[in-house]
Amino acid sequence: MKKLGFIGLGNMGKGMALNLVKAGYPLTIHDVRPEPVQELVKAGAKAAGSPREVAENSEIVITMVTSSPHVEQIMFGDDGVLAGMKKGNIIIDMSTIDPIVTRKVAAAAADKGIDMMDAPVSGAPPKAADGTLSIMVGGKKELFDQCKSILDVMGEKVIHVGEVGMGEVVKLANNLAAAIAGVGMFEGFLFGVKLGADPKVLYEVMSASSGNSWVLQTRVPYPNVIPGSPANDDFAPGFTTDLMAKDLGLILSAAEATNIPLLAGSLTRQLLEAARAAGYGSKDWSVIARIIQQLAGEDEK
């Protein structure tokens, strides 16, 4: 089996890396926090002191970090991934970042004879832990075919979406649609509840009607309507407000650079920033429903 490296053992990356160890892959890992590294070492991984050391001990390096600057930090420089990789090695960046940064890293890798794919994921930490993420992969088709068995360990639905950088584009488009759909659903519930409707009745009708959506099935903004909704637990995160705000920022930046008007996307970003300003950055992004409710003078429920 290919020798793998994994950098970034956060809420998502730790579960993804554990699944690779369980599948029998030799895995070298790195993270700035010692706790997840120790957990992975106990499971059978080997710890490395830097991204470069991970690369020196791997044929394929997988990265899963939170932002474009983090990706650039671990890729470039004397201690970076590119400094330790050999010609013919492969990088799979599974972070959700700016497609322009993805293509910058891919170009630098290509100059050294290193192939790269971007493979951002959709799904919360529980899906990372049980290996059922959706993975959108940008890169050469032959490279995708070569690496698909590795990606299958981490994802239930693994889709090749085009050349390198297109994984990020498709992932961000998906998040844009989901966030905007959430605002519509949250306002629909607010309207109904303010005029006297029971949230459980609203859910029953919407889920069988044109108002149905993935957001409705996972993030009803009132507690104890459906199991598993973040609202049941004071908006404990699946996907945090900070991360969704970051993604909307990437989307709007790319849209501005390419003259794409995103009216609903701009409003959604402002609601996310309002939630962050209210101290909700670490809560699930559906907490923007609380901001919408407060604007209407509704007490928290």
Q: State the catalytic residues.
A: 171
* Residue at token pair 């290996």: 131
Cβ(105)–Cβ(91) below 8 Å: yes
Token pair for 217: 């099935």
CA–CA separation, 297 and 301 (whole Å):
12
Mode of pairing for the β-strands spanning 90-93 and 115-118: parallel
Can you tell me the distance from the alpha carbon of 51 to that of 75, in angstroms, rounded to the nearest whole number?
Answer: 8
- Cβ pair 293, 190 in contact under 8 A: yes
Intra-chain end-to-end CA distance of the chain, in Å: 52
CA–CA gap between residue 92 and residue 6 (Å, rounded): 9
Instruction: Dihedral sign for Cα 247, 253, 259, 263, please.
Output: positive
Dihedral, CA of residue 47, residue 53, residue 59 and residue 63, to nearest 10: 70
**What's the CA gap between 164 and 162, in Å, rounded?**
7
Residues in the chain: 301
Structure tokens at 29: 């890992």
Integer Cα distance of 10 and 14 in angstroms = 6
Give per-residue burial for 249-271: e unless 16+ CB within 10 Å, then b. ebbbebbeeeeeebeebeebbeb
